[in-house]
Structure 1
């Protein structure tokens, strides 16, 4: 019997694995997708090769590209942007690591407290969470982003639009700031040249400013895995977990099995219809079809906001209050683009290094993409084609004309020089709404059971969510106009299922949450959740990964205390950073 089995090696699972293995527990981590052991040989900067949802290296599907991607049913228009494999969706995230807004935590008494979804808060205070943020920020590490041309243009526009700088990591007023991101700062020749032959480790360290964040981070070439620039969990927590026995006295290396799709959580049903005890998992080898099972004292679900509800329902686990899969939030994303008559560095450097925050409304961030992704973003809309039809949704605002998708000559002209574009991603503080949900399909099955069915009806979003989204789109247009944009387009994105959270939410009451304040399932003892789905709300708008990882650190600590008679560690000791010399040597010794 294992001490702990973790389902999923994406953004949250490796955090729990590393923290518990460091303290000597026997941890098995199962990942349905691939383990990318040699990204320098396997990956490229080619967009379709890496990101095709059908056959790309970074897709939601099995490691064998000849096999079809895994299917989800979606009841409303939209697109999925998720990745299976060790690292999960952090394989193509931009490393953005801001903290949540203080207003989404219990006990918040600021003047803007009524601006938030006050019915669905973190069931503990921001002051308590701060220690876990600090631990996670030191472990990754999180650093202030490197600045460049597009960042200066964004900041100049924000200042001209009347915003002031934000200092520190706790956001209490509207303003602009550099991203706090999990990307190592450029060192040596990195950032000094674009010649690939001059960007090899150890002459180059940290971010090389290549601009290909969405294609996975494999640079600098020659660097050990834990010294790759962007701190996706395959570069940070996973190497630490796999070498815990080498760098930590008393530590025990995590056992990682990829291509292992968990199909059932095993439980002791003698506890009754409304309360069970998790005892292990059943999983299927994606390549051979063989079925395995293993027992554990504790099971941690970290398969993501879509797969966790699916697995729960396919395991016939109890759902006494009907909240499993409910309350899905997605930041009600939107896309606003400005076109300039001069180079603003639109596609140069790190993909997303500057932001503006608006407590009570959400956040916006200057986001650069490679050409294929940029063109896709401009053409993905619920409002129809600009200037042709609107689907009844193409609103007017501080942007030019009605919102909608760009096509034809206009799209061709906009894409003629991508460095004259500045694009802003809107991250809405959206409400936890019960009708937005994940359940299982009544029609479609695959080798692992009924597939997940996702429902987010954009047209039924709450009045506050719609107000916040429109407010942030207008603020984005104002900043672009003040920065000198000659044309501004609001896309009115159809739902892009990227910043998903809250489908298995924690809370302060059994009536409207799946998890208690320790992220343990209320209806299944010994079953915890450690990914975005555990988050109780939309965080006030900021990117969710850091909050997920800080919460996962707290959850690991609670597991250690509650089930293994251990002591708390956050606040009583210092984290060992994943880029420390002792960890690096352990990674090299193990050939990672």
Structure 2
């Protein structure tokens, strides 16, 4: 029998696995998809090869790309961006690590306290989570982003809005700043040349400014895995988990099994209480079962509810799978007379926060993703569709995608004279948004999930937030000197998904209690974005999810293994520790 089985090696699972293994527990980490152990040999920089949701190496599907992707039902016209494999969706992110806004936690008493989702706050104070924020920030490590020309342009526009520069990690008021992100600062020749012959480790360290942050990270060439620049969990927590005995007193390495799709969480009555006892998974057509003293679900916002329902676990308050929350994105970009460096360097290194509405991020994209972002519109083609949208505002003409001669004009100087801003809102947790089991035929892993998302039926507060932040984006771009500004009015693109197994203080509308343990099944915990209580006020969710996962790991150790808390009594070892590199080399990793 294992001490702990963790389901899912995405953003949250490796955090719990590493932390508990470091405390000496016997941990099994199961991942449905592949482990890309040698990215330089397995990956390319072709955008379709990486990002195609059906055939790309970063998709929701099995290791064998000749086989179809795993299916889910979306009754609405939308796109849920989800990945399998070690690292999960942290491979498809820009490493942005802002903290949640304090206003989304219990006990907050600021002047804007009623501007948030007051019915779904975190069931503890912001101050209680700060040590866990700090632990993750030191472990990753999180640092001020490397910046270039596009960030300079963004800040020039932000200055015109009359907001101060933020100088703290905690956001207290509307302000702008460099991103706090989990991408290693460039060192040596990195960031100073595009000559690939000069960008080999150790001559180059950290970010090489390749511009392909969205599709994993395999640079600098020749670097140990734990010193690849972008700190997705396959480059940070997983190497630490696999080498725990090197740096942790009394620690032991995690056992990682990939291509292991968990189909059932087992539970039985013990002393009259339903208790998790282990899991069953499928691997290469064979079924395997293993028992554990504690089971942790970290499969993500869609797969955790699916697994719960397929396991026949109870749902007494109806909230398993409900509250499926995102950030109601939009895309605004400006066209400049001068060079902006838009696709160069770290993908997103500048942000503006505006609690309680949300925030803005500068995002530089390579060509295919830029085309995708610029055409994903709910308003159709600018000035052509009469669908009641085509919103007007401080942008040029009605909202919508740019096509024809206008598009030729926009791109006449390539991407280097554009500046793109992602609008991120603070969204309400809504019970109507949910994951259930589909009536469509099951796949090889059992009944498939159905994601019902009332994307176009948002609350009045969410809609207000999006309009407010889109206008701020346009004002920023005007202030930066854009000669034209376009609002795309993005159609449903479901990223930054949260809260489908939400933590809360009330049994009426939460799945897990304030410790992270499910209310209906003891010894079963949830530790990923699905456990988040709300939309965080708008900031990117990874840091908060990992801080919460660290806290949950500590609660597991205290509750079921008589362990002592460690976050306040010790210091973390960063994931780039050279001892880990040595051990990874010995393991052939």
TM-score, normalised via structure 1 length: 0.98
Counterpart in 2 of 1:135?
Answer: 135
Would you say 1:53 and 2:68 are equivalent positions?
Answer: no
CA distance in 1, matches of 2:411, 2:550: 43
Counterpart in 2 of 1:394?
Answer: 390
Would you say 1:432 and 2:429 are equivalent positions?
Answer: yes
CA distance in 2, matches of 1:80, 1:459: 15
Where do 5+ consecutive residues of structure 1 fail to align?
A: none
CA distance in 2, matches of 1:28, 1:174: 43
Would you say 1:284 and 2:244 are equivalent positions?
Answer: no
CA distance in 2, matches of 1:437, 1:95: 27
**Structure-2 change in CA distance of 1:445 and 1:407 (3 Å):** farther
Q: For residue 278 of structure 1, give the secondary structure of its aligned residue in structure 2.
A: strand
Greater shift, 103-112 or 442-451, is seen at 442-451
Counterpart pick for 1:319 among 315, 318, 323: 315
CA distance in 2, matches of 1:513, 1:424: 34
Counterpart in 2 of 1:302?
Answer: 298
Counterpart in 2 of 1:535?
Answer: 532
Q: For residue 447 of structure 2, give the secondary structure of its aligned residue in structure 1.
A: strand
Counterpart in 1 of 2:36?
Answer: 36
* Structure 1 segment 375-394 matched on structure 2, within 5 A: 375-394=371-390
* Structure 1 segment 340-489 matched on structure 2, within 5 A: 340-416=336-412, 417-489=414-486
Distance apart, 1:384 and its partner CA: 1.8
Aligned partners of 2:383 and 2:390 also within 8 Å:
no
CA distance in 2, matches of 1:339, 1:326: 41
Aligned partners of 1:339 and 1:485 also within 8 Å:
yes
TM-score, normalised via structure 2 length: 0.98
Distance apart, 1:161 and its partner CA: 2.5
Output one character per residue of 1:237-262: Cα deviation in whole Å (capped at 9) or x when no partner: 00000011222231111110100000
CA distance in 2, matches of 1:84, 1:483: 39
Output one character per residue of 1:493-527: Cα deviation in whole Å (capped at 9) or x when no partner: 11111110001000001011000001100000011
Aligned partners of 1:375 and 1:411 also within 8 Å:
no
* Structure 1 segment 40-119 matched on structure 2, within 5 A: 40-119=40-119
CA distance in 2, matches of 1:304, 1:490: 31
Counterpart in 2 of 1:156?
Answer: 156
Q: For residue 443 of structure 1, give the secondary structure of its aligned residue in structure 2.
A: coil
CA distance in 2, matches of 1:431, 1:84: 27
Counterpart in 2 of 1:174?
Answer: 174
Q: For residue 528 of structure 1, give the secondary structure of its aligned residue in structure 2.
A: strand
**Structure-2 change in CA distance of 1:465 and 1:257 (3 Å):** same
Aligned partners of 1:578 and 1:584 also within 8 Å:
no
CA distance in 1, matches of 2:447, 2:402: 37
CA distance in 2, matches of 1:45, 1:278: 42
Aligned partners of 2:23 and 2:251 also within 8 Å:
yes
Counterpart in 2 of 1:523?
Answer: 520
Greater shift, 275-284 or 517-526, is seen at 275-284
CA distance in 2, matches of 1:492, 1:584: 45
CA distance in 2, matches of 1:394, 1:442: 36
Aligned partners of 1:560 and 1:566 also within 8 Å:
yes
Distance apart, 1:294 and its partner CA: 0.7
Moved over 4 A (4+): 269-272
Output one character per residue of 1:102-152: Cα deviation in whole Å (capped at 9) or x when no partner: 000110011110111111011011111000000000000000001100000
* Structure 1 segment 490-529 matched on structure 2, within 5 A: 490-529=487-526
CA distance in 2, matches of 1:354, 1:382: 26
Distance apart, 1:538 and its partner CA: 0.3
CA distance in 1, matches of 2:4, 2:112: 41
Count of residues in Structure 1 that have an aligned counterpart in Structure 2: 588
**Structure-2 change in CA distance of 1:493 and 1:280 (3 Å):** same
Output one character per residue of 1:35-88: Cα deviation in whole Å (capped at 9) or x when no partner: 000001111111011111111111111111100011111121111222110000
Output one character per residue of 1:175-213: Cα deviation in whole Å (capped at 9) or x when no partner: 110000000000011111110110010110111111110
Q: For residue 459 of structure 1, give the secondary structure of its aligned residue in structure 2.
A: coil
CA distance in 2, matches of 1:494, 1:455: 15
Q: For residue 294 of structure 2, give the secondary structure of its aligned residue in structure 1.
A: strand
Counterpart in 1 of 2:548?
Answer: 551
Counterpart in 1 of 2:229?
Answer: 229
Distance apart, 1:443 and its partner CA: 1.8
CA distance in 1, matches of 2:507, 2:389: 38
